[in-house]
Amino acid sequence: MDGFYGRILKVDLSEETYSIEPIRDEILEKYLGGKGLASYLLYELNPPGVDPLDPANCLIFATGPVTGSAIWGSCRYGVFTKSPQTGFYSESYAGGKVPEAIDSTGFDVIVIQGQSAVPTVLGIHPEGVDFHEAGDIWGMDTFKAEDAVYERFGHSDAGFKRSGAVVIGPAGENLVRFAVIENDYWRSAGRTGVGAVMGSKRIKAVVFQGDRKRSLYDGNAVRAFSKKISLEGKDNPGAKAYKSMGTTMMVKIVNDAGAFPTRYWSEGKCEHWEKINADALHERCQVTPRACLKCFLACGRMTTVLQGRHAGLKLEGPEYETIYAFGGLCLIDSIEEIAYLNDICDRLGMDTISAGNLCAFAIEAARRGKIDYKIDYGDVDAIAELLKKIANPPNPTLAKGGRGDFEDIGDILARGIKFAAREWDLEDIAVHVKGLEPPGYDPRVLKGMGLGYATSDRGACHLRATFYKAELSGMIDPDVIEGKAELFMDFEDRLTLFDALILCRFYRDLYPWEQLKEIIHSVTGLDVDQKTLQEKAGAISDIVRRFNLREGMKPEDERLPKSLHRKLEKTGDIITEQELDHMLKDYYSLRGWNESGQLTS
Ligand code: SF4
């Protein structure tokens, strides 16, 4: 079928073997590629109930049918596994330049199982896999590891045109439950701990090389479509805003709405927002827009800090979510200091959203006398120190899942919010769903985000439906409950298909249903209307839900944490349990599931 290679690569690290297998067209037609195909394989191949850090847990890399084409926003890959952070389904995506190298290996999906006997760098190319011992790279931070991997394995004797690497940092090696996989220095598959799964397999890096291209059903139509979109994009206000401000524009928008999580989720407005917003970043630092391949939005911010103790620090970022996590939750009132904490997380290989949440949680624990540890709101140096302790917990046996005294704060936080909340008897205030901390949109103001956090398969996630867009742009009143699930599902279905193609969701305004149909037809040849596309999205949602139910997901795993049902301080905004129940009931019914969110067939 056009748009696909029709090949899966399966790697067994324990045996140092691999196989190349075909994929049936009917599976591709039903699930498309990317998230759809990877989720189907995760369901089929993962042993039910497997420990996420067990060698048998699959670590799946996927690109999509649009990868490598001229479609804008198409340079992305996804990672799929069972999450060590939540114990449920895990997906995480990243852009940059490397996704085209992954795709050039000529596989729709790469499934990695087993565990290497020694630290290893995998080399993947169209003919198969090379296993390189790499003990001396183990222990390096992500940037050094990337440099070392390119220097040693980046050339190609076979003359392949493309080459790209993904790496983990010390956090992934030490099985920190929210460790990331990084590429292009600053691009991360950031959520749900995919880096810890890679670390548990003793894979420090994967180098992808190749020269394969997907065959397109109608290459001329793809090129014409891209030309049309780039012309439309020129005058699109959203596109212009991404280019001029990146995601940092959200600081003002969300703070104005009163939904900017502040002081560990107790307030929705941040007093120092003007010191950490888009203007602060662009006026105080040297910033240039930076784009993934095949992108004219260029939301990335290549930043150089110009003033103060971090002058000279260069990074891509900080993005909105990092600003909220450290600037809002931890009350850091300087954009340069947030950039500094961002850089530490990048080098150690940790998700900044979870890291910021956990630091603020530790601050609350210290203030409430639950731990004897010197840290407080706004204390950058203590937070920086804590990040290093988390990434390098002193007792690796405990990090792997062993029991013990857990006297060290790094050991405790490395195992995630659920574990820390139990250890410190603070479950009453811990903010997470399924073990994943939410991003920077308070659901007491943006109530549809509450539905998204509760029902997202990977835990409290903003990206599956990006419903903040609907609620902040006036498409629907954020406070309304009636009828909200219907619009939410429309967003979620369309973006599920984005993930099956693996498209950047910041193109969502430029690719409504009609454009999505055009993309799918020109790439794969499938004649689809909106209804059949919604059915495909539904089939993908079903297989992921089937996976989570098999892994023990209960109705209580799709609730908001208690503290998000308490009033926001100062404004009194609230989302009640009844409001959430109402939206959940509507949503499950629209999905064709029963009142507990279970599949009926
Ligand atoms: S909008 Fe941002 S994340 Fe999306 S493709 Fe462009 S640069 Fe990458």
pLDDT above 80: residue 396: no
> Over the Cα atoms of the chain, what is R_g?
22
> Among 297, 320, 466, 498, which residue has the most ligand 1 atoms within 8 Å of its CB, making it the best to mutate?
297
> CB-based contacts of 87: which residues, under 8 Å, 6+ apart?
52, 434, 435, 551, 552
Q: Which two tokens stand for residue 272?
A: 């120092």
> Among 249, 504, 507, which residue has the most ligand 1 atoms within 8 Å of its CB, making it the best to mutate?
504
> Among 506, 508, 510, 511, which residue has the most ligand 1 atoms within 8 Å of its CB, making it the best to mutate?
506
Three-class SS state of 441: coil
Q: How far is CA 212 from CA 4, 27, 68, 160, 511, in A?
A: 11, 22, 9, 9, 27
pLDDT for the residue 16 = 98
Query: Half-sphere exposure of residue 508, counting CA atoms within 13 Å on the CB side?
Result: 20
Which amino acid, one-letter code, is at 93? Y
Residue 312, exposed/middle/buried by CB under 10 A (0-12, 13-18, 19+)? exposed
Q: How far is CA 433 from the centre of its chain?
A: 15
* Pocket lining: 298 vs ligand 1, CB cutoff 6 Å: yes
Percent residues over pLDDT 90 in the chain? 95
* Pocket lining: 292 vs ligand 1, CB cutoff 6 Å: yes
Q: How far apart are the C-alpha atoms of 183 and 132, rounded to whole Å?
A: 19
First to last CA, the chain: 29
Query: pLDDT of 120-140, one tens digit each?
Result: 999 999 999 999 999 999 999
pLDDT for the residue 462 = 86
Q: Which two tokens stand for residue 557?
A: 């795993």
DSSP of 437-480: ---S--TTTSHHHHHHHHH-TTSS-STTT-THHHHHTTSS-TT-
Q: How far apart are the C-alpha atoms of 314 and 300, rounded to whole Å?
A: 13
Query: pLDDT of 87-103, one tens digit each?
Result: 999 999 999 999 999 99
Contact 32, 536 (CB under 8 A): yes
Average pLDDT, the chain: 96
Query: pLDDT of 137-162, one tens digit each?
Result: 999 999 999 999 999 998 887 889 99
Query: Half-sphere exposure of residue 281, counting CA atoms within 13 Å on the CB side?
Result: 33
Instruction: Looking at the CA of residue 299, tell me the nearest atom of ligand 1.
Output: 2
Q: How far is CA 451 from CA 17, 23, 541, 577, in A?
A: 43, 35, 15, 11
Nearest CA to ligand 1 atom 4: 504
pLDDT for the residue 157 = 79
Instruction: Looking at the CA of residue 75, tell me the nearest atom of ligand 1.
Output: 5
What residues form DSSP beta bridges with 267? 262
Percent residues over pLDDT 70 in the chain? 98
* Pocket lining: 246 vs ligand 1, CB cutoff 6 Å: no
* Pocket lining: 297 vs ligand 1, CB cutoff 6 Å: yes
Confidence class for position 433, pLDDT limits 50, 70, 90 = very high
Does the CA dihedral 387-411-146-501 come out positive or negative?
negative
Higher pLDDT, 560 or 393: 560
pLDDT for the residue 156 = 80
300 Cα–ligand 1 center, Å: 7
Query: pLDDT of 564-597, one tens digit each?
Result: 999 999 999 999 999 999 999 999 999 999 999 9
pLDDT for the residue 394 = 77
pLDDT above 80: residue 261: yes
pLDDT for the residue 221 = 98
* Pocket lining: 504 vs ligand 1, CB cutoff 6 Å: yes
pLDDT for the residue 406 = 63
DSSP of 371-413: S-----TT-HHHHHHHHHHHHS-S-HHHHTT--S---SHHHHH
Query: Phi-psi region for residue 257, left (φ > 0), alpha (ψ -120 to 50) or beta?
Result: alpha
pLDDT for the residue 543 = 98
292 Cα–ligand 1 center, Å: 5
Contact 377, 396 (CB under 8 A): no
138-159 exposure pattern, b = at least 16 Cβ within 10 A, e = fewer: bebbbbebbbbbbeebeebeee
208 Cα–ligand 1 center, Å: 21
Longest pairwise C-alpha distance within the chain: 66
> CB-based contacts of 599: which residues, under 8 Å, 6+ apart?
542, 545, 546, 549, 593
187 Cα–ligand 1 center, Å: 10
495 Cα–ligand 1 center, Å: 15
* Pocket lining: 353 vs ligand 1, CB cutoff 6 Å: no
pLDDT above 80: residue 274: yes
Q: Is there a cis peptide before residue 394, judged by omega within 30 degrees of 0?
A: no
Query: Which residue, among 3, 127, 145, 123, has the nearest Cα to 63 in the 3D structure?
Result: 3
Q: Which two tokens stand for residue 480?
A: 């309304």
Q: If you count them, how many residues does the chain have?
A: 601
Query: pLDDT of 462-517, one tens digit each?
Result: 888 899 999 999 999 999 999 999 999 999 999 999 999 999 999 999 999 999 99
297 Cα–ligand 1 center, Å: 6
Q: How far apart are the C-alpha atoms of 357 and 377, rounded to whole Å?
A: 12
298 Cα–ligand 1 center, Å: 6
* Pocket lining: 506 vs ligand 1, CB cutoff 6 Å: yes
pLDDT for the residue 399 = 58
505 Cα–ligand 1 center, Å: 8
pLDDT above 90: residue 235: no
Q: How far apart are the C-alpha atoms of 334 and 247, rounded to whole Å?
A: 17
DSSP of 48-88: TT--TTSTTS-EEEE--TTTTSS-TT---EEEEEE-TTTSS
385 Cα–ligand 1 center, Å: 31
Q: Which two tokens stand for residue 133?
A: 């011992």
Q: How far apart are the C-alpha atoms of 373 and 366, rounded to whole Å?
A: 6
246 Cα–ligand 1 center, Å: 9
Does the CA dihedral 103-106-112-116 come out positive or negative?
negative
* Pocket lining: 95 vs ligand 1, CB cutoff 6 Å: yes
* Pocket lining: 295 vs ligand 1, CB cutoff 6 Å: yes
Nearest CA to ligand 1 atom 8: 292
- pTM of this prediction? 0.97
pLDDT for the residue 398 = 57
Query: Which residue, among 120, 122, 112, has the nearest Cα to 202 in the 3D structure?
Result: 120
pLDDT for the residue 404 = 54
* Pocket lining: 66 vs ligand 1, CB cutoff 6 Å: no
Element (H, E) at 12: strand 7-12
Instruction: Looking at the CA of residue 504, tell me the nearest atom of ligand 1.
Output: 4
Instruction: Looking at the CA of residue 291, tell me the nearest atom of ligand 1.
Output: 7
pLDDT above 60: residue 53: yes
Query: Which residue, among 476, 499, 513, has the nearest Cα to 92 in the 3D structure?
Result: 499
Q: How far apart are the C-alpha atoms of 551 and 541, rounded to whole Å?
A: 15
